[in-house]
Amino acid sequence: MRITVIGTGYVGLVSGVCFAELGNRVICVDKMEAKIDQLNRGEVPIYEPGLQPLISANREAGRLSFTTDLRASVEASELVIIAVGTPSLPNGQANLSYIEQAAAEIGQAMNGYKIIVTKSTVPVGTNERIRDMIRQHTEEVFDIASVPEFLREGTAVSDTLNPDRVVIGTDSARAAECLVELHSRLTDHLIVTDIRSAEMIKYASNAFLATKISFINEIANICEKVGADVTKVAYGMGFDKRIGSSFLKAGIGYGGSCFPKDTQALIQIAGQMDYDFKLLKSVVDVNREQRYNVIRKLEGLLGNLAGTTIGIWGLAFKPETDDVRDAPAFEIIAELHKRGAQVQAYDPVAADNFRKEYGSDGIVYCSTAREAAWQADALCILTEWKEFQELEPLEVEGWLKSPYLIDGRNIYEEEQLSGTNIVYYSVGRPGMNSGLKEPAPLLSL
Ligand SMILES: NC(=O)C1=CN([C@@H]2O[C@H](COP(=O)(O)OP(=O)(O)OC[C@H]3O[C@@H](n4cnc5c(N)ncnc54)[C@H](O)[C@@H]3O)[C@@H](O)[C@H]2O)C=CC1
Ligand SMILES: O=C(O)[C@H]1O[C@H](OP(=O)(O)OP(=O)(O)OC[C@H]2O[C@@H](n3ccc(=O)[nH]c3=O)[C@H](O)[C@@H]2O)[C@H](O)[C@@H](O)[C@@H]1O
């Protein structure tokens, strides 16, 4: 099948490459010339494990190409996939301007029957709007489908080639048949449904996962007060098949380009229909608060932070990506600066992207983990890169001015800390080298 993918962000690039890998001829289009030039030089604009070799192999096999010429590629394709961004507007609603522009351009390039698939995360009703917009520009027959994307950054290639399920929302039997055939080699779990339900499945899935994270973070906060260990609690909960063990890692809250924006968008979607989505609003509030626990713990140890130097390990919103969109590191570092602290930060791949957004005022960007920890008054771990987990706490202690470690991602085990003088505050594990060996007395019943 000949496929055009519009947008070469994570979703467009990874799904385009994976469809090429399945034997289709794929043209990836982006309006950013610099990105397309980079891809045509064989460079990959994002850090995503496994992507580079897959792109090279499929380009060499003649199945994958990159262009800025949307019209020519749509004309040459039977299937057109929209994978442009849908960022948040200031009020939390999804900004659909890229979607609208892409739909208009597709409409102008129509030269025969095509299926127009939207992979971008869009509010309920948007695919129907896309159909109307294309219709304004063409008399050609076409069908639309919502096929939301569920990949995670850092594991995007394997998520796309081995998805838990593929959701196909369409009102056309012809489009359904074609899309079932296209995805049938990826999974047996093909869910063919109506367009609006498909659009909602995506938001509901992200909102549910965000809810799991805020839930376990609140449990972690209570664990710190009652002397329980949230990792053991999550382990014990996870064996219940109705709960499941994933997305129960307590930490500094979720970040990234999707959970923060999609939770806000769903609150707005509900609000527009006069529905107050109270639960999701709390999930968002809990998430925002969770980031500040790092600051509270630092202040608990150091008192006034003015004039202190704080080491930061990790700027990306999660490991194995250089994406810093909505990374908790932004707010945490900004709070440190507000309190007069200096920051020395290290991330294995995301520092350049962070610097572009945040600037360099009050931050020294370091080229090693050791440099970021060197002579710091305290060290905070904000991303659980494997590289940090492999460092010996005893060695890290020797780099620090004071042996204070605030671990926002629970990367160390108790045994790794024994024999060190590190005062270690993690998330929801109060007993670990924190000096809080005895939990506070429980309220009597
Ligand atoms: N990043 C992720 O992990 C996931 C993202 N999504 C959703 O997928 C969508 C895309 O997200 P990302 O891949 O992160 O996007 P992104 O924002 O990183 O990239 C979008 C790309 O589309 C290009 N573009 C915009 N309008 C265009 C047009 N008219 N013609 C050609 N190119 C155009 C932009 O130049 C940009 O390179 C969003 O709706 C997002 O919510 C869904 C699942 C996972
Ligand atoms: O719509 C999207 O864009 C994507 O959003 C998430 O994927 P992603 O943001 O790449 O990364 P996740 O692994 O979900 O992590 C998101 C955030 O939650 C945090 N998290 C995750 C899991 C957990 O147990 N605890 C926790 O704090 C991570 O540190 C990270 O900041 C979803 O997992 C994907 O299914 C979805 O396609």
ipTM over 0.90: yes
Cα 434 to ligand 1 centroid, rounded to whole Å: 43
What domains can be seen in the chain, in order of their start residue? 2-189 (3.40.50.720), 207-425 (3.40.50.720)
Partners of 334 in the beta sheet?
none
Buried-state track 233-250, b at ≥16 Cβ within 10 A, e below 16: bbeebeeeeeeeeebbbb
Dihedral Cα 119, 123, 124, 125, nearest 10 deg: -90
CA neighbor of 30 nearest in space, from 19, 20, 40? 40
Q: Which ligand is nearest to the CA of 220?
A: 2
Smallest CA separation from ligand 2 atom 23, residue:
247
**Separation between Cα atoms, residue 153 and residue 49, nearest integer Å:** 9
pLDDT value of position 36: 98
Cα 258 to ligand 2 centroid, rounded to whole Å: 8
Pocket of ligand 2 (CB under 6 A): 121, 149-153, 206, 209, 213, 247-249, 251, 254-256, 258-259, 317-318
Helix (H) or strand (E) holding 310: strand 309-313
pLDDT value of position 445: 47
- Work out whether the CA dihedral 103, 145, 147, 62 comes out positive or negative: negative
CA neighbor of 386 nearest in space, from 54, 161, 154? 154
Best residue among 4, 13, 17, 30 to mutate for probing ligand 1's pocket (most ligand atoms within 8 Å of CB) is 30
Closest ligand 1 atom to Cα of 152: 3
pLDDT value of position 441: 54
Burial label, 205 (beta-carbon count in 10 A; 0-12, 13-18, 19+): middle
Sheet holding 79-82, edge to edge: 64-67, 25-29, 2-6, 79-82, 114-118, 142-146, 166-170, 190-193
Contact (CB, 8 A) for 90 and 19:
no
Which three-class secondary structure state does DSSP give residue 423?
strand
Smallest CA separation from ligand 2 atom 16, residue:
254
pLDDT in tens, the chain (445 residues): 999 999 999 999 999 999 999 999 999 999 999 999 999 999 999 999 999 999 999 999 999 999 999 999 999 999 999 999 999 999 999 999 999 999 999 999 999 999 999 999 999 999 999 999 999 999 999 999 999 999 999 999 999 999 999 999 999 999 999 999 999 999 999 999 999 999 999 999 999 999 999 999 999 999 999 999 999 999 999 999 999 999 999 999 999 999 999 999 999 999 999 999 999 999 999 999 999 999 999 999 999 999 999 999 999 999 999 999 999 999 999 999 999 999 999 999 999 999 999 999 999 999 999 999 999 999 999 999 999 999 999 999 999 999 999 999 999 998 899 899 999 999 999 877 665 445 455 554 4
